[in-house]
Amino acid sequence: MPLYFLVLLLIAASTSGFERAATVLLLMSPMLVFFKALMAVSSWVFHEDMHGKVVLITGASSGIGEHIAYEYAQKGARLVLVARRESLLKEVAHRAMAKGASDVKVIIGDVQKENDCKRFVDETVKKFGRLDHLVNNAGVAHSFFYTDTKDLRSLTSTFDTTFWGDVYMSYFALPHLRRTSGKILVIASAASWLPYPRQSIYNSAKSATLAFFDTLRVEVGDAIGITIVMPGWVESEITKGKVIHEDAAMWIDQTQRDIHVGPVPVISVTECARAAVKGVIRGSHYVTVPFYYSIFLLYRVFAPEVLLWAFRLVFVINPNKPSSKKILEATEANKILYPESIQKSD
């Protein structure tokens, strides 16, 4: 092994610039592949037992957060569910208990507020005496071009919930997670690397989330595990059409949803939640669901012009009725590509 690295150093010293980086990466590839394969096998054999563990989930009243709660419940975890809508949250808590949760606590509040985030963590530790997993899931989206903004609150509220909410929660949770060698599960988005139109601030918030937790992983080392989930379009209130509009109001608009999402498959929320929880208990650094979104990352790195052209063609040209909407109307593809649950505005 020392000889192997000595050869790498000699080659690096004898080349320069791009050639040096490419050569070293090529020679390191066998070792990297072997290491990743070893870690994958290890994660399949040895994964965390969640029975009795304490899990705090933000944005748990619906969508991905709700179904992540059910996945943890089936593994016997003790849950703390956080959201703003008390009635919905209590329904989720009741179903989570029926699915096998050891205990469930409901806390009402808003992750945009620093004091609320501190309260969520303090009440969790007060009740259960520990915190094992923090699930940063709360987020809101918008659907309008940046140049059409009429009220800046439509931008700040998106960023405050989607990014700062994760930062606040992690800040207050970290001391407790260190004591339990706990984990953070982050629901980011494929939008962190895709220039998806009509959601410039949402994309920015998710990019910031990815960068923040990548950096935090370096800083905390092995003390806390961090799993970043990057879903594509998922069955949720957002894909039902509930988004912030340019005047800062929020309502369900499925016509706007069809323009925004277009002829793109929307996966089951159960599939997304199951992949997320499976990834964190196995210690994965990243989970992309569905996996084919990884292809877009390659385009982002090697052919960004293709993404720019494709998104402009499908979603931007003729903004009042872009190709995304025309394709859906002509083919009725949404009846196949969208889950039945999001095809009705109720």
pLDDT at residue number 320 = 84
3-class state of residue 325 by DSSP: helix
- pLDDT tens sequence across 96-131: 999 999 999 999 999 999 999 999 999 999 999 999
- List the single range of 44-53, 150-159, 179-188 with lowest mean pLDDT: 44-53
- List the single range of 21-25, 94-98, 242-246, 313-317 with lowest mean pLDDT: 21-25
pLDDT at residue number 319 = 86
pLDDT at residue number 31 = 65
Query: Of all residues in the chain, what percent carry a pLDDT higher than 70?
Result: 86
Distance CA 13, CA 17 (A): 11
Distance CA 56, CA 28 (A): 39
pLDDT at residue number 346 = 59
pLDDT at residue number 39 = 60
- Tokens linked to 236: 């949720």
pLDDT at residue number 344 = 72
pLDDT higher than 60, residue 88: yes
pLDDT at residue number 240 = 92
> Number of H helices and number of E strands within the chain?
15, 9
Contact 169, 214 (CB under 8 A): no
3-class state of residue 32 by DSSP: helix
What is the average pLDDT across 31-35?
Answer: 62
- Other C-beta atoms closer than 10 Å to the C-beta of 149 total 18
What is the average pLDDT across 208-224?
Answer: 97
3-class state of residue 69 by DSSP: helix
pLDDT-based confidence at residue 35 (cuts at 50, 70, 90): low
- List the single range of 33-47, 117-131, 242-256, 317-331 with lowest mean pLDDT: 33-47
Looking at per-residue confidence, does 221 or 27 come out higher?
221
Q: Which residue is catalytic, options 70, 72, 168, 202?
A: 202
Question: CA nearest 319: which of 162, 143, 193?
Answer: 143
pLDDT at residue number 343 = 83
pLDDT higher than 60, residue 10: no
Strand order in the sheet with 133-136: 103-108, 78-83, 54-58, 133-136, 183-187, 225-231, 286-289
pLDDT higher than 90, residue 44: no
pLDDT higher than 70, residue 73: yes
Tell how far CA 131 is from the center of its chain: 21
Active site residue 202: yes
- pLDDT tens sequence across 185-214: 999 999 999 999 999 999 999 999 999 999
Distance CA 306, CA 144 (A): 22
pLDDT higher than 70, residue 27: no
- Other C-beta atoms closer than 10 Å to the C-beta of 321 total 10
Residue with tokens 């009440």: 123
Question: CA nearest 58: which of 119, 130, 111?
Answer: 111
Contact 299, 291 (CB under 8 A): no
Q: Tell me the CA distances in angstroms from 235 to 9, 126, 139, 276, 293, one per residue in order.
A: 49, 34, 14, 15, 16
Contact 67, 270 (CB under 8 A): yes
| 319: preceding bond cis by omega (within 30 degrees) | no
- pLDDT tens sequence across 292-323: 999 988 899 899 999 999 999 999 999 888 99
